Structure 1
Amino acid sequence: MSATESTPASLSIGDLSERTGVPTSALRYYDELGLVRPTAREAGRRRYAESAVRDVSAILFFREIGFSLAEIGRFLTGERQGRREMIDHKLAELIEQQHRIEVARTALEHGRKCPAVDPMKCTRFWAILEGRQRGLSLEESHSRVH
């Protein structure tokens, strides 16, 4: 087999990019991080096993549900118990994030229907900011004003 030929079961980085929708630059970065490694190099070019499509899909899934690339690396290389702890930690993070989003949504809804018309002229808005300056959470500050 010549250096320009490839084994039928391997994919070029372009093939992997096309099959997964992930740019080749990101695939190279994943390689640097050890997330998806080529199985071989032919004439200096990365060649991936067919299973790399599945591996990239897993990375995309974990990114979509909020994992960082560093967390994904630890998850993929970790032990079952460690993965369980990571899931529990991510769930707690998401619950906190969901709570912050709900508080922010409530504040924005107030701004949209504020009788002052301009939120920058709203006395409640400024009272909430003063509460934040005193160290209250957004939720505490907002609830004291309303």
Structure 2
Amino acid sequence: MPDTESSLLSIGELSARTGVPASALRYYDELGLVPPAARVAGRRQYAASAVKDVGLIVLFREIGFSLAEIGQFLAGEGTSRHELIEHKLAELTEQQHRLEVARTALEHGRRCPAREHTQCPRFWSIIEARQRGLSLEESHARAH
């Protein structure tokens, strides 16, 4: 019969294996994302599977999920997980679009013949169009 206590990882060992600071692991525990399997003398002890759980959290953080969204993903089932992924994809698509519009506006600023950008009539026409409620993309398109 294996000694379960010796197969558990301390928070320091889990931190070393995942590269995630112990303070973050304690926070993940508070949020219910990676609860310890046991407490020995008040110290958190984690199952070996916690390494994969933390790896999932790190990956999902890197691709833009909030900790709340990760909690929903972990607690969810197939359909709700699929919906979370679809929602995140739509969100990332919108962010990408906004970045492309911002890049276009900045590239115009870089090429603008006006010595001072605030002296450029197109610059002010974009601002005025935004104040009238047009999107940045619409404002920029009308200025050109």
- TM-score bin (small chain): over 0.9
Q: Once the 2 structures are TM-superposed, how far is the Cα of residue 122 of structure 1 from its aligned partner?
A: 1.6
> Which AA in structure 2 matches 1:62?
F
Give the Cα separation in 2 of the matches to 1:39 and 1:140: 54
How many angstroms apart in 1 are the aligned matches of 2:39 and 2:5? 11
> Unpaired segments of 5 or more residues in structure 1?
1-5
What is the aligned-residue identity percentage? 72
Q: 1 CA distance for matches of 2:50 and 2:39?
A: 15
Query: How many residues get paired?
Result: 141
Residues 53-84 of structure 1 deviation map (CA, whole Å, 9 limit, x = unaligned): 10000001111111100000000110111111
Q: Secondary structure at the match of 1:66?
A: coil
Give the corresponding residue for 1:87. Answer: 85
Task: State TM-score, norm by structure 1.
Answer: 0.93
Give runs of aligned pairs for residues 1-146 of structure 1, distance below 5 A.
Answer: 7-146=5-144
In 2, distance between residues paired with 1:9 and 1:131? 64
5+ unaligned residues in a row in structure 2: which ranges? none
Q: TM-score, normalised by structure 2?
A: 0.95
1-structure distance, mates of 2:6, 2:116: 65
| TM superposition shift of 1:30 | 0.3
Could you tell me how far apart the structure 2 residues matched to 1:118 and 1:9 are? 66
Helix, strand or coil at the partner of 1:14:
helix
The residue matched to 1:8 in structure 2 has which SS?
helix
Q: Deviations over 1:13-52 (max 9, x none)?
A: 1111111111111111100100000000011100001110
Runs ≥4 residues deviating over 4 A: none
